[in-house]
Amino acid sequence: DAKTTQPNSMESNEEEPVHLPCNHSTISGTDYIHWYRQLPSQGPEYVIHGLTSNVNNRMASLAIAEDRKSSTLILHRATLRDAAVYYCILRDRRGSTLGRLYFGRGTQLTVWP
Amino acid sequence: NAGVTQTPKFRVLKTGQSMTLLCAQDMNHEYMYWYRQDPGMGLRLIHYSVGEGTTAKGEVPDGYNVSRLKKQNFLLGLESAAPSQTSVYFCASSPTLWTGPRDTEAFFGQGTRLTVV
């Protein structure tokens, strides 16, 4: 299964943009890139996902490299409520591993007021 | 709309006791998952199910069993609890993946904090 690599932690000041990187050099052509986040004492929640093109939604933007071996989650203006662990995940849709959803350790984002 | 509900929310077990964690979803999702999360760690997949009556092993299946007799329920069993199974357990569900060019998101419960003493 293709894996992802993220920094253990990042910091930002409130109202500044945040760029959270993820490397996935062994991604396959049918893997979707998903991002989830986990607020303290809660279950993870979906943030955004994409395949090849950059994506935007009300929470964030996802920038995907042309070779798809890396991606960046962009929070345009960080707030204190964005402090969480952010997970970059490849959604495996093939064969016997169809439906499996693996998380890693993610990136702990600290936002300073 | 309840989403994904986990029962119980907290439990303390003695070593060797057995218990079952219940996960229920009301979104008619095909896929369901059980994860454990230990301090400072991410989520590790224990078992998952791609449909009623089917289950599969994840990353850390040893010491756990699961059943999916009804589409809306996914049960996680500990036959003989050990202190190493002290953790926070999360259940998740998601629709069928292959519905076309779009993929779908997973929805998580609020977790069950289990302590084995």
Task: Confirm or reject contact between B94 and chain A (CB < 8 A).
Answer: yes
Out of B90, B105, B111, closest to residue A46 by CB: B105
CA distances to A105, B42, B90 from B39, in Å: 11, 8, 14
Q: Which two tokens stand for residue A98?
A: 């169809």
Contacts of A45 in chain B (CB under 8 A): 108
Report CB contact under 8 Å: B50, A98: yes
pLDDT tens series, chain A, 113 aa: 568 999 999 999 999 999 999 999 988 887 888 999 999 889 999 999 888 889 998 889 999 999 999 999 999 999 999 999 999 998 876 655 656 778 888 999 999 99
Chain B 32-51, residues with CB within 8 Å of chain A CB atoms = 33, 35, 40-45, 48, 50
